[in-house]
Amino acid sequence: VFEVSDLTKVLLGPASIELGKRLAETLGAESVPVESKSFPDSESYVRISGDVSGENVVIAQSTYPPQDRHLVQLLQLLDTARDLEASKLVAVVPYLAYSRQDKRFRSGEAVTVKTVVKLVEAAGADSLTTVDVHSDKILELFKIKALNVSAMSAIGEYFSSLRLREPYVFAPDAGALDRAKIVAEQLDAEYAFFQKQRDRTTGAIKTEAKDVRVKDRDTIIVDDIISTGSTIANAASILRRQGARSIYVACTHPLLLPGAKEKIIAAGANEIIGTDCVASDVSRVSVASIIAESLRKIL
């Protein structure tokens, strides 16, 4: 039987160097560095600086922005490891790019996540693990084994280590309620969600300001992705107006596009915390042990 201890090498994809190292440490595997650069015309170059022949290899490479570059690097690493006669190839892609393009809303639109799945499989992955993917349904597109795990228990653990006063956990929209629930249960806290609406044409977001009992309490807003920051900023300003003592913001994927952090802080949040699914200066929570654990299920 194949076991996690048979995974002997972790390739440190350029988008997930720190996570890859933590994962290698957790698995007791060897880290294999990857050299990467862009050619003057901006084509991607990667080189695996280590021996993978006959090894069972984990390729850690997230595909957060710039998605296309990170995606091509992932494909290059998979295909090269195959060429170099690696045995098993386990793709760890904590942020799966294009997973929000999973439906044809208007005729003629590309369902790009479908293309991504085909490419990852064609490049040689035997299995794939991702984290807090936009919709679980995407996993059904894979012919190889594919698994989605949640970072929320690691986020819950982070907040358990802070001494919060009567914490109250919020989902900034109905879709995030299950995530908020996981964090809240870990803290033995109350939880609730806000109603959010997005204008399909302009992308503008409106959040309904319901009354919540947050006066002088520490609050946490959790979501899967922070992109422009508008979703979280709306929720934070509601909590601020209702007298929350503090507002922590946490997410799995801190994409944090330019201006997002400033928008969230201006809305009244005290701190933004993300995981290492996306390498960023707020990535204080690691998903390495959650991923290592998930690999047991996927082998």
Nearer to ligand R5P, 207 or 286 (CB): 207
| Rounded Cα distance, 56 and 246, in Å | 46
Query: Which one, 55 or 224, has the nearer CB to ligand R5P?
Result: 224
Smallest distance, Å, CB 113 to ligand R5P? 15
The CA distance from 208 to 110, in Å, is 32
In 10 A of CB 125, how many CB atoms? 28
Q: Give the Å distances, CA to CA, from 67 to 80, 202, 237.
A: 20, 23, 30
Looking at beta carbons only, is 227 or 270 nearer to ligand R5P? 227
The C-alpha atoms of residue 165 and residue 238 are separated, in whole angstroms, by 19
Q: How many CB atoms lie within 10 A of CB 174?
A: 11
In terms of CB distance, is 173 or 276 closer to ligand R5P?
Answer: 173
Rounded distance between C-alpha atoms, residue 42 and residue 105, angstroms: 32
Tell me the closest approach of the beta carbon of residue 179 to ligand R5P, in angstroms.
9
CA 233 – CA 262 distance, rounded (Å): 10
At 174, is the secondary structure helix, strand, or coil?
helix
Give the shortest CB-291-to-ligand R5P separation in angstroms.
21
**What sign does the CA torsion over 192, 187, 158, 127 have?**
negative
Which residues of this chain interact with ligand R5P, rule CB under 6 A? Answer: 172-173, 175-176, 205, 223-231
Helix (H, G, I), strand (E, B) or coil at 206: strand
Shortest reach from residue 228's CB to ligand R5P, in Å: 3
Is the CB of residue 86 less than 8 Å from the CB of residue 119? no
Q: Among the options 9, 196, 261, 263, which is catalytic?
A: 196
**Is residue 196 among the annotated active site residues?**
yes
Instruction: Provide the phi-psi class of 82: left if phi over 0, else alpha when psi is between -120 and 50, else beta.
Output: alpha
Rounded to whole angstroms, how far apart are CA atoms 32 and 75? 17
Least separation in angstroms between CB 222 and ligand R5P: 10
Min separation Cβ 158 and ligand R5P, Å: 19
| Shorter beta-carbon distance to ligand R5P: residue 285 or 288 | 285
Pull the structure tokens for residue 161: 């280590």
- Which residue, 11 or 226, has its beta carbon nearer to ligand R5P? 226
Catalytic residues: 196
